[in-house]
Amino acid sequence: MVHVTHASPPSSAILGIETSCDETAAAVVEPSGLVRSSVIASSQQTFQATAGVIPEQAARMQLQAILPVIDAALAQAGIPLERIDAIAVTRGPGLLGSLLVGTTVARLLRALTGRPLIGVHHTLGHLSSPWLYAPGEAAPAIRFPVLTLSVSGGHTDLWLRTGHTRGRLLGRTRDDAAGEAFDKGASLLHLPYPGGPAVAHAAETGDPKAVPFPLPLSGEDTMDFSFSGLKTALRYRIRDHAADSLPDLAASYQLALCRHLTDRVARALDRHIDCVEVHLVGGVAANRHLREELVALCRTRGIPFRTPGAPAACTDNAAMIALAGGFMATELGDAAYAPFATLPAIPLEEVVRDVGE
């Protein structure tokens, strides 16, 4: 067993590994957020026929992909394994078999290289993703407090963060996650998996005002989310109005989902006027319409808006895990390198803590 003491954060290159769902990803990122390489092998196409991931099959495919993907990330970065300063790996939440592929290989690399290992919460990776930047771009300034809308297939959260690992959860979904609402809506519309991009694509030529879906929780004094009513409304609409066109339904449903999300952000900004930035992260952040709605809201409020530049940095990737590992090392010191368990469920509140203002 290798024991190393790490008083300071990694100085140059962090290897990130992410295998929480159906992707196998590795990346090399500098602690400032500069992405030296980011490689993703996805088995998404395999699971289109089943309209969802089959966990054991995903893990088997990841086992085959993981070493070539890590090799490719190191080669593209032009950095050999010996020159990596730290390894960051997703320790959960996610599919356990898939997570174990990543964490087992990461533990092996730690033993082989003696480099420190950081276990990262998958969603902390998403929360860190707006600060990733490509070669040739300027490093984004990091300022807090930040209001973060975190929307993926597994969660929908609104955070007020005073640091990378400090903050308060203002609201979360009471039922489906936003990505799930896109995926289930796509299934009702007989569109392929994953549903988000499919709904967005179908919506391109539709009229978003064609079907007036209700705004969820509009009368309640809360920053929580709820999507199950919209999904039910879509189901009844399809059943009762056979003449509706697919593009109109997709555009109207997408508009309703995005309005609900934007409405919560507007409420949060009303209450937390000290926020210096609004961030949008997670797979659903790849949705162009949602980005446009939030850009417009932030413009009227005079507050900067930040989201990962490329859609591939919104959906699951290893660059965000590497950067989150670097942020953890900076804020938590040696505690970032503590031994960790690989777990299918971990509340983010265990990692992003409310330590008061």
Question: Shortest Cβ distance from residue 333 to ligand KG4 (Å)?
Answer: 28
- Residue type for position 142: I
In the complex with ligand KG4, which residue's Cβ is closer, 40 or 79? 40
- Is the distance from CB of 69 to CB of 305 less than 8 angstroms? no
Nearer to Zn ion, 152 or 156 (CB): 152
Binder to ligand KG4 among 182, 227, 305, 327 (CB under 6 A)?
Answer: 182
Site mask, Zn ion, residues 283-322, x = CB under 5 A?
A: ---------------------------------x------
Which tokens belong to 228?
Answer: 């199950």
In the chain, count H helices and then E strands.
10, 10
Tell the smallest beta-carbon distance from residue 42 to Zn ion (Å).
12
**Subset of residues 151 to 210 that bind Zn ion, contact rule: CB under 5 A:** 152
Decide: 98 and 65 in contact? Cβ < 8 Å: no
Q: Are 88 and 321 in contact (CB under 8 A)?
A: yes
Q: Rounded to the nearest whole angstrom, what is the least distance from the CB of residue 348 to ligand KG4 in the complex?
A: 12
Q: Looking at 38, 90, 152, 156, which residue binds ligand KG4 (CB under 6 A)? A: 152
Residue nearer to Zn ion on the CB measure, 70 or 286:
286
Please count the residues of this chain forming the interface with Zn ion, following the rule CB under 5 A.
2
Query: Which CB sits closer to ligand KG4, 9 or 283?
Result: 283
Q: What is the DSSP string of 26-72?
A: EEEE-TTSBEEEEEEEE-GGGGTTTTS--HHHHHHHHHHHHHHHHHH
Is residue 167 at the binding interface for ligand KG4, with CB under 6 A as the rule?
no
Contact residues for 250 (Cβ-Cβ < 8 A; gap 6+): 185, 189, 191, 199, 200, 202, 203, 206
Q: Does 253 bind ligand KG4 (CB under 6 A)?
A: no
Question: Which one of ligand KG4, Zn ion, none interacts with residue 30, CB within 5 to 8 A by kind?
Answer: none
C-alpha to C-alpha distance for 100 and 88, rounded to whole angstroms:
14
The residues in 191-230 that bind ligand KG4, with binding defined as CB under 6 A, are 194-197, 200
Place of tokens 């989201």: 307
Footprint (CB under 6 A) of ligand KG4, residues 265-294: 282-284, 286-287
- Classified as helix, coil or strand, 126 is helix
CA distance 156 to 330: 27
User: What residues make contact with ligand KG4 under the rule CB under 6 A?
Assistant: 21, 152-154, 179, 182-183, 194-197, 200, 282-284, 286-287, 315-316
Q: Which residues bind Zn ion (CB under 5 A)?
A: 152, 316
